[in-house]
Amino acid sequence: MGFDVDTTTDEVVAGLDLAGKTIVVTGATSGLGKESARALASTGAQVVLCGRDDAKGEAVVEEIGGATSFHHLDLADLNSVRTSADELLTRIERLDVLLNNAGVMACPLARTADGFEMQFGTNHLGHFLFTARLFPLLVQSAPSRIVNLSSQGHLIGGVDLEDPNYEHRPYDKWEAYGQAKSANVLFSRELDRRFGDHGVHAYAVHPGMIITELGRHLDEADIADIGERTSQRPAGGPSSEFKPVERGAATQVWAATSEDIPGGSYLADGAVCEQVAPHATDNEIAARLWALSEDLVGEPFPSWPGAD
């Protein structure tokens, strides 16, 4: 079945039976993450909702129902990421889908508990470490997949591998957002290159233009800026119209459930999207970012014979 810009999450999961599958969703207490968790739980899957606010998380679990549970995770603190991942491994016996949905967008200059620029540290490094810690279970559960939420914002710019944390250059919130979203695409490509043959595939997703809590730092001028940047995109790319969350989350739910998507793809509007910036498709940059990420989080990503 073909999907498009108007497809909703319920249409994506219609008729699916994922009983026996386990899905972990980060940033699942609001917005796209919450909607994704709701739709995926409706298939009978066990869905673990991860987030920072325990009370809010438990309330969402109560609201969604089904085989859902909440698990504490603060991606802006690597110690929390390690503890969260290790505790999660004692709670679940398999992991079929890891949906790395959480993120921050265009925030004022701030730093994570470990000193990383907040957008790069949360959107990329926190998820890099969380994925690494959970990865042995993903391999054990293969075929499995990782879905990383990116954005057309990656077109703004690539990753500055020499100064990713804005320690030696002026901070620009949109440039930093573009860097973080490019890192999400590069991470997905490198994950699939290394581990696709082991049955673990990865995808990057542009959800579209959606008003959620992700945009809590934006004012009217920022919204106008988004519109201007959107209007300058090449023709033939993803829709620039604002979507409700039911449509915005559809592509990531599709990525989490479809058996027919080529590994390593960048997805938008329910389809493989070819409008990807060269700086986000460069295999050498992807490999260098991988090595840098291992260095910054202070531990290597698990590997297997044949994976490099």
Q: 3-class secondary structure for the chain?
A: CCCCCCCCHHHHHCCCCCCCCEEEEECCCCHHHHHHHHHHHCCCCEEEEEECCHHHHHHHHHHHCCCEEEEECCCCCHHHHHHHHHHHHHHCCCCCEEEECCCCCCCCCCECCCCCEHHHHHHHHHHHHHHHHHHHHHHHCCCEEEEEECCHHHHHCCCCCCCCCCCCCCCCHHHHHHHHHHHHHHHHHHHHHHHHHHCEEEEEEECCEECCHHHCCCCHHHHHHHHHHHHCCCCCCCCCCEECHHHHCHHHHHHHHCCCCCCCCEEECCEECCCCCHHHCCHHHHHHHHHHHHHHHCCCCCCCCCCC
Phi, psi of 93 (to 5 degrees): -100, -15
Phi, psi of 117 (to 5 degrees): -55, 135
CB 200 within 8 A of CB 145: yes
Domain ranges of the chain: 9-297
What token pair was written down for 149? 């939420």
Residue-wise pLDDT tens for the chain (308 aa)? 569 999 999 999 999 999 999 999 999 999 999 999 999 999 999 999 999 999 999 999 999 999 999 999 999 999 999 999 999 999 999 999 999 999 999 999 999 999 999 999 999 999 999 999 999 999 999 999 999 999 999 999 999 999 999 999 999 999 999 999 999 999 999 999 999 999 999 999 999 877 655 445 455 666 566 556 544 454 445 555 678 999 999 999 999 999 999 999 999 999 999 989 999 999 999 999 999 999 999 999 998 766 66
Q: Can 203 be counted among the known catalytic residues?
A: no
Terminal Cα distance for the chain, rounded: 35
Query: How many angstroms separate the CA atoms of 96 and 22, rounded?
Result: 5
CB 32 within 8 A of CB 210: yes
Phi, psi of 274 (to 5 degrees): -95, -5
* Options 166, 177, 203, 266, the catalytic residue: 177
Q: Work out the angle at residue 260's Cα, subtended by the Cα atoms of residues 255 and 263, and round it to the nearest 5 degrees.
A: 65
- In one-letter notation, the amino acid at residue 146 is I
Q: CB-based contacts of 225: which residues, under 8 Å, 6+ apart?
A: 174
* Domain 9-297 CATH class label: alpha beta
